[in-house]
Amino acid sequence: MRIAVVGSGYVGLVAGACFADLGHEVILVDNDQRKLAALRAGQTPIHEKFLPELLARQRGQLLTFSDDLQGAVRASEAIFIAVGTPPSESGEADLSYVESVAREISGGINGYKVVVEKSTVPVYTSEWVRKIILRNGADPESFDVASNPEFLREGTAVTDFMYPDRIVIGCDTQRCADVLRQIYKPLTEGTYYTRNDAIPQPDRTTIPAPIIVTSTKSAELIKHASNAFLAMKISFINAVASVCESVGANVSQVCHGVGTDSRIGRRFLNPGIGYGGSCFPKDVMAFRAVARENGYDFRLLDEVMSINEDQRQRFLRKVRSALWTLRGKKLGVLGLAFKGGTDDIRESPALFIAQALLQEGCKIKAYDPAAMERTQEVISSGIKYAESAYEAAAGSDALLILTEWEEFANLDLDRLKSELHYPIVIDGRNLYDPEVMASHGFTYYSVGRAATHPDGVPIGALKNGVDKA
């Protein structure tokens, strides 16, 4: 089919490349000329596994780039809106970009079109998109508005698109549903998976992909409810980790015991320094705002956000506990992105902690496999950037692990110890076993587990964590 995707951010670029790889003719539309020039020149503007390969084989073939939205609408059967919906000061989603796109789409309708919300939007957005298009002169029989929420995780977005847990399409007419079924047919009938050049299949996937057809309002709520629930799960286990630290329990053992319950599951039971990124913080606030606007005070989400913010402060207190005073301390920092596998630093708890430590007078040398360039755009001074994890550790009074990159979990511990000024590791992602770290001579702090010391002395008994370490 012929598809237009409006917006070349994380969602739009991944969706456009994946739709093209499924065999559709895709026009990716953006009004940022610099982005378009970079894409046409063969550049990949975001760090995303398998995306460079898809862009390379579809660019100029089934995937083209344009700044002419109305021309793309005229040439397409389905138009996916994938523009930003940033939070306002009140937490509500800013839908001005969606509205602007809807107005312009109306001028390009020259036959039946399906306009699809791909951006994460609050319930009732589909109704407003339809009203805007109608107000700008479109025939009511010439288009339908659908909701097709994305469930992509940054770092594995291409794989998530091609091997989805489910495909949700919210439609209010059968004609509209038939178009979207046709678009996803290579996945729902499984023909894509028979190809020799298909993206490799990850573990724990269902083939062919199940499709769920709902009303547009239900689809809009599914996306917000899913992200809010996952954020709640993360905040819940972080709260449990705090209790574990207070009573001397091991949160890893607790997670194993809880996660093996099939009703709960192990995924997202990973204590750390809190969630971040472009989705969870924004979507939780937006879902709460929608609930309040419709007369329900969703206090549970207030607590989810509160726990998430407190988790960052608890980690900072852990750093102070390990080092006593912070001013003038040299710290190695591993990780700046909000999670491993991406260069996205939006709402990154790692970046929040790094900035807070800079304000305390610390000197930071940081390393991230993908996010250092983006960080330099935000923090112009104060952080030195290293070429490797070992260079970040060299001469540091302590090493902080803030992002769960795979390479950070596989460091040469003997080499790491030799690089550090003091062998202190404060791990916000629980990448290592405390006993293993102690056996290698480290004073090791993690989340929800007792701190360990190579001498076997309880950490709380030390008067000066730096000097004794």
- DSSP string of 66-101? ES-HHHHHHT-SEEEE-----B-TTS-B--HHHHHH
66 shares a domain with 195 = yes
Domain boundary (307, 337, 365) is at 307
Q: What single-letter DSSP state applies at residue 455?
A: T
Domain hosting residue 348, numbered range: 310-468
Whole-model pTM: value is 0.89
Task: Compute φ and ψ for 443, nearest 5 degrees.
Answer: -85, 120
Same domain, 136 and 263: no
Q: Is residue 217 part of a domain?
A: no
Same domain, 461 and 348: yes
Q: Which residues are catalytic?
A: 279
Largest CA distance in the chain: 78
Statement to judge: residues 291 and 329 lie in one domain: no
Query: Does residue 89 lie in a domain region?
Result: yes
Domain CATH for 326: 3.40.50.720
Task: Quick: pLDDT tens for 339-385.
Answer: 999 999 999 999 999 999 999 999 999 999 999 999 999 987 889 99
pLDDT digits (tens, 9 = 90+) for 40-82: 999 999 999 999 999 999 999 999 999 999 999 999 999 999 9
Asked whether residue 218 is domain-assigned, the answer is no
Other Cβ atoms closer than 10 A to 43: 11
Q: Count structural domains, the chain.
A: 3
State the residue for tokens 């003091």: 422
| 299 shares its domain with 323 | no
Residues 140 and 75 in one domain: yes
- Domain boundary, last residue among 286, 307, 328: 307
pLDDT confidence bin for 89, thresholds 50/70/90 = confident
Residue 279 sits in a domain whose CATH number is: 1.10.1040.10
DSSP letters, 374-412, are HHHHH--SSEEE-SSHHHHHTT-SEEEE-S--GGGGG--
Angle value at C-alpha 79, between 122 and 212, nearest 5 degrees = 60
Are 318 and 408 found together in one domain?
A: yes
Q: What is the mean pLDDT of residues 122-150?
A: 94
End-to-end CA distance of the chain: 64
What pLDDT does 459 receive?
A: 57
